[in-house]
Amino acid sequence: MVTVKIDGREVQVEPNSTILQAAEKAGVHIPVLCHHKTLNPFGACRVCLVEVVGNPKLMTACTTPVTDKMEIVTQNEKLQKLRRTVIELLLINHPLDCPVCDKGGDCMLQDLTFEVGLTNVRFDPKPNDTPFDHTNPFIERDIDRCVLCGKCVRICDEVVNIQAISFINRGTETYIGTSFDQPWNCEYCGQCMSVCPVGSLNNRVYLFKNRPWNLEKTESVCGFCSCGCSIIVEHEDNEVYKISEDPDLGVNHGFLCAKGRFGYELINSPEREKTPKIKKSGEFSESSIEEAIEYVAAKIGEIKGKYGADSIGVLVSPRVTNEEAFLAQKFAREVIGSNNVFSFETVNALPEGTYEDVENSDNLIVLNIDVTESNPVLGYAIRRMGRKEETTLSVFYPKVTSLKRVATNFFTGKPSEVYEKIENFINGLKGDGEFKDLADSFKGAKKPVLVYNPYDELDLYYANEIKTLVNNVITVPCRLKNNSQGIVDMGCTPYYKPGYVKTEAQADFRKVLEDGSLRALVILGENPLLHPEYSDLGDILGKLDFLAVTDPFMSEVAELSEVYIPVSLFAEKDGTFTNFEGRVQSLNKTVDNGVISDLEFLALLSARLGVNLPKGIDEVQDLIRKEVPLYNDVDFNGGTVKYPFVLDGAFALKKVSPKGKGKFKVFPGSLRLHSGSFTRRSQDLSRVYAEPAVEINPTDASKLNVGDGDYIILKFEDTTRKFRVAVVKGMPDGVVSLPNDFKETADLFHKGKYLKVDLVKHNG
Amino acid sequence: MKNIFDTIFFTEIFQGLGVTLKHMFKKPVTVRYPYEESPIYKFRGIHYMNVDERGVSKCVGCYLCEKVCPAECIHIETDAGPNGERLVRKFEIDLSRCIYCGFCEEACPKDAIHMSDRYDTVDSTRDNYIINMRYMVENRKNVKGE
Ligand code: SF4
Ligand code: SF4
Ligand code: SF4
Ligand code: SF4
Ligand code: SF4
Ligand code: FES
């Protein structure tokens, strides 16, 4: 610890801290412009100049480390004058566009101008006037307003590691742009925009819709993927205008991905249903909530009376909160009296590692998953880890992903070849083979981490092998959806009651549907038709004696239902989600679109069936603490759950055997920013990929005579289908990828995870 | 002596009558409201919008007038236009709530919103008190000297 004196106040700080950090600790305000606390010090703007007593030169507070007994002056006439001049110089070429500029009211340049008391610029203004750039679908770029703080360039490099934008030219000609002024294609994560202090980079989804002083801010948790990012929902009245971030909240250091940052318009989507519907003689007609609940209760009562409790089932989606999932299984097990509570989540793999483990790992393996797409913010943690000197990051995946830049080893190839390499790596761990060196370094690592896909049986097998062979390895199963983990914890599976207490009767979703023992099904937000494994069950579901579906949107399976009840989305309810680390975090209701939540639906329905389940969020949480031992003493605002096991099950080694005949091998890939169920409802995300696309490498594409954006015919067995083409580098020859969770593709993958297909150009 | 003369001949009365007579030939100072419009200067009345050379309102929808309005009677909605430009979707003032303080005029950075000297706000329904952008652009024509 060293002692420094800032404006007369003495503080003790760590030896390596900067003057700015010390000032923060002392409670002294130093104005900054180019500094951002998640980025490395840069020192571009000179707004933070301070005086160090005994030193003739002024120092930049954001980059200068403190020394013992340093005495610092942050405010005096000279400094004030200097800061004013710095701002004055910035304003020479700055178009004073504030009334039009979307940043107005939230702009650091405005604030600084006000702070230094600048009312009159002594120089002749020469405002720049370059046209706006709209090549990025989510970010508006106006280089005229740029103050060249470099934050965008730095965050894209240091955090996202895409290096999509950079300083172009020198001196007064400098601007921020892409190489060779190409259209701005990147990850679209919007990190650059979030740190831009001025209106140079603006959110196009929110563009000009409101002003910052009108917006109320509520902390919540993102409802898209299992990363569990903390978000700030900015809303006015009942409309969500913007999702922003706070570096001090949660686990994500203020980083978000394109889905979380730009996908929120689906909350305000005109496609959303507002009134429940009951199907009578094949046609939906609108009804009131009471009527719909009454109808569901009557039907369930009738079927239970006729065929017994086991003829009724509940299917829960990973989009619901822990509280809703808990009530859903309680509804099935206690109100109905049946163990038929299903979800499509895996129960064999539970969380172990956290973000911290990933970031601090010295040897990390990404096993056959495109983690930067499936779990983007976990992807940032892996990139951070990979960028450090002396760490080893190895990736096994059929195609080259954006981890390539930071990976030490990247193993690609046909899916079967990738598995061969994984097999060889396992052999290496056992002591021989071509991967012996890598295996040895993994074994000898201080903190080896394995990131894998817990939904694939083969991947589970290999993860289990690695876990057995390397005793200190920390596993990170990449669950997909926002509450994929929580619903299993809450016992939404026929195999476990809440908290992983094994059940006796273990029904299988497919079996009970196929043998006809299931007569009625209540689906909470799930859509089996988009799951390759269950995509063939549409006919059976349509013919059930009774099918009720709750979903924020009229989904494909909701169309088949007899009663459809629209329910609220993550921004419209209270509750908790559990992310892939097993971290429980609370979300807050911010807006109300006049629809009920699944929680209210379950409570109303149970009450109608004669059992009163708690309805208030606090009561349900108290009950969870009581009945789910796992959650007993977990802090619902960021605490992690301690799990009873990491991997459990009889994992069998199966060879990859692609189904069908054809020249091209298909593996299920993650399409940029998308899954076909939820994000597809966002018009903005759909601007990047509105439909599933076949990803193919440039050589194969030119052989087939197709280009990016063209259509291609895919022939698999008797099915022919038309898809858009996305040409990507880094896809192996003869291999293409296609997302498997779109309505256009789910049934193709029903036969198997890997396919062999023929591709021909689509003409016309 | 003079006093006696004045007393005998009622000169002051004639002087008074003279003043009255003089005023009978002058322009009247009263106005026959509501049959005639009363001329009013330095008065803050119904708002109008300045226009640019193309005749389009100068307002860019910056929300400053809405923010500064103490009666909260200005309601603005903006959005991005097809070419990514700033577009004012809706601009309404509820005259029945407006206190005619002129703060909006003061706050406007674009010299767009101004107050005319029209005070004839009386109407029969509340809805008619809500004026929009088109009304304000039209109202500009009622301003003297425009
Ligand atoms: S960047 Fe800031 S100062 Fe510049 S026009 Fe926009 S709001 Fe005004
Ligand atoms: S959106 Fe993300 S990837 Fe794209 S330039 Fe900005 S920081 Fe980089
Ligand atoms: S675009 Fe914004 S963040 Fe990037 S250098 Fe310019 S002002 Fe800084
Ligand atoms: S990484 Fe996942 S949780 Fe985070 S913002 Fe993106 S979708 Fe939301
Ligand atoms: S202050 Fe002027 S430019 Fe801004 S919204 Fe009001 S009228 Fe329009
Ligand atoms: S904030 Fe220190 S130089 Fe910019």
Lookup: tokens for A73: 């002056």
Give yes or no for residue B2 having a pLDDT over 80: no
* DSSP letter for each residue of A331-367: IIIIII----EE-S--SSB-----HHHHHT-SEEEEE
Q: Which of A423, A437, A387, A425 is nearest to A407 (CA)?
A: A387
Q: Could you state, in order of their start, the residue ranges of all structural domains in chain B?
A: 47-142
Pocket of ligand 6 contains residue A58 by CB under 6 Å: no
**Pocket flag, ligand 4, residue A480 (CB < 6 Å):** no
CATH match of A2-75 with 3.10.20.740: yes
- CA A263 to centroid of ligand 3, rounded, Å: 23
Q: Contact A30/A48 with Cβ under 8 angstroms?
A: yes
3-state SS, residue A35: coil
Cα(A201) to ligand 2 centroid in Å equals: 11
User: A355-477 has which CATH code?
Assistant: 3.40.228.10
List chain A domain ranges.
2-75, 124-268, 288-345+483-640, 355-477, 664-761
- Domain A288-345+483-640 class, CATH top level: alpha beta
Which residue from A132, A209, A210 is facing B84, i.e. has the nearest CB? A132
C-beta A229 within 6 A of ligand 4? yes
Q: Is A427 helix (H, G, I), strand (E, B) or coil?
A: helix
CB A355 within 8 A of CB A378: yes
Q: Is A34 in the pocket of ligand 6 (CB under 6 A)?
A: yes
Residue A405 has pLDDT above 80, yes or no: yes
Q: How far apart are CA A376 and CA A159, in angstroms?
A: 12
User: Could you tell me which residues come within 8 angstroms of residue A619 by beta carbon, excluding any fewer than 6 positions away?
Assistant: none
Beta-strand pair A239-244/B74-80? unpaired
Residue from A302, A420, A318 nearest A675 by CA: A318
A520-566 tens-digit pLDDT: 999 999 999 999 999 999 999 999 999 999 999 999 999 999 999 99
The answer, yes or no, to whether any atom of ligand 3 lies below 6 A from the CB of A201, is yes
Q: Say whether the peptide bond before residue A127 is cis (omega within 30 degrees of 0).
A: no
Between the alpha carbon of residue A154 and those of residues A61, A246, A437, A475, the distances in Å are 19, 18, 35, 31
A513 within ligand 1 shell (Cβ under 6 A): no
CA A322/CA A34 separation, integer angstroms: 41
Whole-Å CA distances, A650 to A461, A464, A760: 8, 10, 41
* A615-633: average pLDDT: 94
Which ligand gives the minimal distance to the CA of B74?
5
- The token duo for A443 is 């074994």
User: CA–CA distance from A42 to each of A11, A36, A86, A197 (Å)?
Assistant: 24, 9, 17, 15
Q: Which of A573, A618, A588, A484 is nearest to A221 (CA)?
A: A588
Q: Which of A497, A500, A426 is nearest to A461 (CA)?
A: A426
- What separation, in Å, do the N-terminal and C-terminal C-alpha atoms of chain A show? 72
What would the 3-class secondary structure string for A461-491 be? HHHHHHHHHCCCCEEEECCCECCHHHHHHCC
- Is A554 close to ligand 1, i.e. is its CB under 6 Å away? no
Ligand 4 touching residue A755 (CB < 6 A):
no
Task: Note the pLDDT tens digit of each residue in A360-373.
Answer: 999 999 999 999 99
> Going by CATH, does the domain composed of A664-761 fall within 3.20.10.10?
no
Mean pLDDT of B4-25: 86
Q: What is the DSSP string of chain B?
A: -HHHHHHHHTHHHHHHHHHHHHHHTSPPSS--TTTSPPP--S---SEEE-B-TTS-B-----SHHHHH-TT--EEEEEEE-TTS-EEEEEEEEETTT-----HHHHH-TTS-EEE-S------SSSGGGEEEHHHHHHHGGGSTT-
A236 CA: distance to closest CA in chain B (Å): 12
Contact B67 A100 (CB under 8 A): no
Subunit contact B78:A209, Cβ cutoff 8 A = yes
Write phi, then psi, for A512 (nearest 5 degrees).
-65, -25
Provide the pLDDT confidence category of residue A375 given band limits of 50, 70 and 90.
Answer: very high
Candidates B86, B87, B110, B113, partner chain A, best to mutate (most A CBs within 10 A): B86
**CA atoms of A511 and A514, how far apart (whole Å):** 5
The verdict on a CB contact (< 8 Å) between A204 and B80 is yes
List the one residue out of A336, A670, A647, A187 whose CA is nearest residue A463.
A647
Please report residues of A whose CB lies closer than 8 A to that of B84. Answer: 132, 134, 140, 204, 207
Distance B118 CA to ligand 6 centre (A): 53
Q: Which of A727, A739, A728, A729 is nearest to A679 (CA)?
A: A739
Averaged pLDDT for residues A734-745? 93
Residue of A140, A153, A157, A191 best suited for mutating to test ligand 2, as the one with most atoms within 8 Å of CB: A191
pLDDT at A406: 94
Among A81, A55, A65, A51, CA closest to A16: A65
Q: Which atom of ligand 4 is nearest to the CA of A260?
A: 5
> What average pLDDT does the segment A233-252 reach?
95
B2: number of Cβ within 10 Å: 7
Number of cross-chain residue pairs from A and B with Cβ atoms under 8 Å apart: 36
Report how far residue A566's alpha carbon sits from residue A597's, in angstroms, rounded to the nearest whole number. 8
CB B99 within 8 A of CB B70: yes
Average pLDDT, chain A: 94
Q: How far apart are CA B13 and CA A297, in angstroms?
A: 101
Q: Please state whether beta strands A175-177 and A139-141 pair in parallel, antiparallel, or not at all (unpaired).
A: unpaired
Yes or no, beta carbons of A208 and B86 under 8 Å apart: yes
Mean pLDDT of B65-74: 97
B79 and A213 within 8 Å at the Cβ level: the answer is no
| CB-CB neighbours of A636 under 10 Å | 17
Nearest Cα residue to atom 2 of ligand 5: B108
For residue A734, give every residue at least 6 positions away whose Cβ sits within 8 Å of its Cβ, in sequence order, or none.
Answer: A414, A663, A664, A665, A700
CB contact under 8 A, B64 and A99: yes
- The alpha carbon of A257 and the centre of ligand 2 are apart by a number of angstroms equal to 10
A504 pLDDT above the threshold of 90:
no
Please give the Cα distance from A419 to A440 (Å, whole number). Answer: 19
Cα–Cα distance measured from residue A182 to residue A564, given in angstroms and rounded to the nearest whole number: 47
* CATH number 3.40.630.10 given to B47-142: no
Distances (CA, A) of B41 to A407, B37, B99, B113: 76, 12, 18, 18
In this prediction, residues B118-146 reach a mean pLDDT of: 88
Q: In what order do the strands lie in the sheet with A49-52?
A: A9-13, A2-6, A70-73, A49-52, A58-60
Say whether A495 sits in a helix, a strand or coil: coil
Quickly count helices (H) and strands (E) in chain A.
21, 35
Mean pLDDT of A389-412: 95
CA of B44: how far to CAs of A606, B119, B127, in Å? Answer: 62, 8, 22
Task: Give the C-alpha separation, A626 to A634, whole Å.
Answer: 12
Q: CATH assignment of A124-268, given 3.30.70.20, 1.10.1380.10, 3.40.50.10490, 3.20.20.140?
A: 3.30.70.20
The phi and psi torsions of A188 (rounded to 5 degrees) equal: 60, 30
pLDDT, tens digit, 9 for 90 and up, residues A649-684: 889 898 888 999 999 999 998 877 777 778 888 888
Instruction: Locate B122 and state its tokens.
Output: 């009386």
For residues B26 and B28, give the distance between their C-alpha atoms in angstroms, rounded to a whole number. 6
pLDDT for A61-102, tens place per residue?
A: 999 999 999 999 999 999 999 999 999 999 999 998 999 999
Which amino acid, residue A726?
A
Q: Is the dihedral of CA A21, A22, A23, A26 positive or negative?
A: positive
The percentage of residues in chain A with a pLDDT greater than 90, rounded to a whole number, is 91
Taking an 8 Å cut-off on Cβ atoms, the answer to whether B87 and A214 are in contact is: no
Instruction: Produce one character per residue of A241-277: b if its CB has 16 or more CB atoms within 10 Å, e if not.
Output: bbbbbeeebbbbbbbbbbbbbbbbbbbeeeebbeebb
B134 Cβ partners below 8 Å, 6+ apart? none
- pLDDT band per the 50, 70, 90 thresholds, residue B1: low
The pLDDT, as a whole number, for residue B145 is 55
Query: Residues of A with CB below 8 A from B64's CB?
Result: 99
Ligand 3 atom closest to residue A165's alpha carbon, by position in its atom list = 4
Chain B residues with CB inside 8 Å of A104's CB? 62
* Interface residue ranges in chain B relative to chain A, Cβ cutoff 8 Å: 60-64, 67, 78-80, 84, 86-87, 109-110
Which of A208, A210, A242, A687 best tests the B interface by mutation, with the highest count of B CBs <10 A? A208
Q: Is A477 exposed, middle or buried (0-12, 13-18, 19+ CB in 10 A)?
A: buried
Tokens coding A361: 């790992």
Is any Cβ of chain B less than 8 angstroms from the Cβ of A180?
no
**Which residue, by CA, sits nearest to atom 1 of ligand 6?**
A32
Region A600-608: mean pLDDT is 96
For a ligand 6 pocket test, name from A30, A39, A40, A48 the mutation site with the most ligand atoms within 8 angstroms of its C-beta.
Answer: A48
| Residue A11 token pair | 């503080």
Six token digits for residue A334: 């206690």
Q: Inform me whether the pLDDT recorded for B120 exceeds 60.
A: yes
Q: Which chain B positions have a beta carbon within 8 Å of A134's beta carbon?
A: 84
A723 pLDDT higher than 80: yes
User: Is B64 within 8 Å of A208 when comparing Cβ atoms?
Assistant: no
Q: Answer yes or no: do B62 and A209 touch at CB < 8 A.
A: no
> What's the whole-number mean pLDDT along residues A424-442?
93
Average pLDDT over every residue of B43-69? 95
More confident residue, A424 or A655: A424
Using an 8 Å CB-CB cutoff, list chain B residues near A210: 63, 78
Work out whether strand A230-236 and strand A239-244 pair parallel, antiparallel, or are unpaired.
antiparallel
Contact check, Cβ <8 Å, B64/A210: no
Q: Which of A524, A528, A525, A526 is nearest to A542 (CA)?
A: A528
Say which ligand is closest to the CA of B111.
Answer: 5
Q: Torsion angle, CA of A326/A332/A337/A340, rounded to 10 degrees?
A: -120
What pLDDT does B144 receive?
63
Residue B4 pLDDT > 60: yes
Q: For position A483, what pLDDT does the model report? A: 96
Q: Which residues pair with A585 in a beta bridge?
A: A577
